[in-house]
């Protein structure tokens, strides 16, 4: 299994009004050598195997924005972060007749909303 990540945050300061922080992240991984979408009936089972989709090859993308405003001069802040996460993968090129027409890797789309507070003491 191999994975690669590229991530970028950029803080745009607004003085006493806080800051905006755009966020971009790209992630990809290859499938683990023992990952299988399915096992063939009648074929010898491999010594090790898993159908856990976290071990499949996929690509994940995150795009978001954070806004934070200072609470005081000691570094405390209130923040709101909104991000969109999308995960895509692909199923095997050949599937047995009983699995044809099924989406073996449906992917994932999610919104992430986070309220935060940081206090310095």
Torsion, Cα 94 98 100 102, to 10 degrees, reads: -120
Given a cut of 90, is residue 105 above it in pLDDT?
Answer: no
pLDDT in tens, 57-93: 999 999 999 999 998 778 889 999 999 999 998 777 7
Task: Please give the radius of gyration of the chain, using alpha carbons only, rounded to the nearest integer.
Answer: 21
Question: What are 64's two structure tokens?
Answer: 């978001």
For residue 116, CA distances in Å to 55, 62, 68, 70, 80 come to 31, 19, 9, 12, 6
Structure confidence at residue 98 (pLDDT): 76
Over residues 88-111, the mean pLDDT reads: 81
Structure confidence at residue 116 (pLDDT): 97
Over residues 50-54, the mean pLDDT reads: 86
Structure confidence at residue 66 (pLDDT): 98
Select from 99, 90, 89, 93 the least CA-distant residue to 39: 99
Q: Residue 68 — φ and ψ, nearest 5°?
A: -135, 145
CB 26 within 8 A of CB 59: yes
Question: What are 111's two structure tokens?
Answer: 């919104």
Of 28-32, 53-57, 78-82, 109-113, the range with the lowest mean pLDDT is 53-57
What pTM value is reported for the model? 0.80
Structure confidence at residue 121 (pLDDT): 75
pLDDT in tens, 5-21: 999 999 999 998 999 99
Q: How far apart are CA 112 and CA 115, in angstroms?
A: 10
Select from 108, 89, 109 the least CA-distant residue to 37: 89
């Amino acid at each position: 299994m191999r994975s690669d990540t590229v991530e970028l945050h950029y803080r745009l300061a607004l003085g006493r009004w806080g800051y905006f922080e755009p966020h971009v992240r790209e992630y990809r991984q290859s499938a683990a050598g023992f990952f299988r979408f399915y096992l063939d009936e009648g074929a010898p089972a491999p010594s090790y195997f898993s159908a856990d989709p976290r071990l499949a090859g996929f690509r994940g993308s995150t795009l978001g924005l954070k806004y934070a405003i200072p609470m005081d001069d000691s570094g405390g802040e209130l923040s709101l972060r909104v991000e969109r996460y999308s995960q895509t993968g692909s199923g095997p090129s050949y599937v047995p007749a009983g699995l044809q027409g099924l989406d073996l890797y449906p992917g994932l789309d999610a919104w992430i909303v986070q309220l935060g507070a940081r206090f310095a003491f």
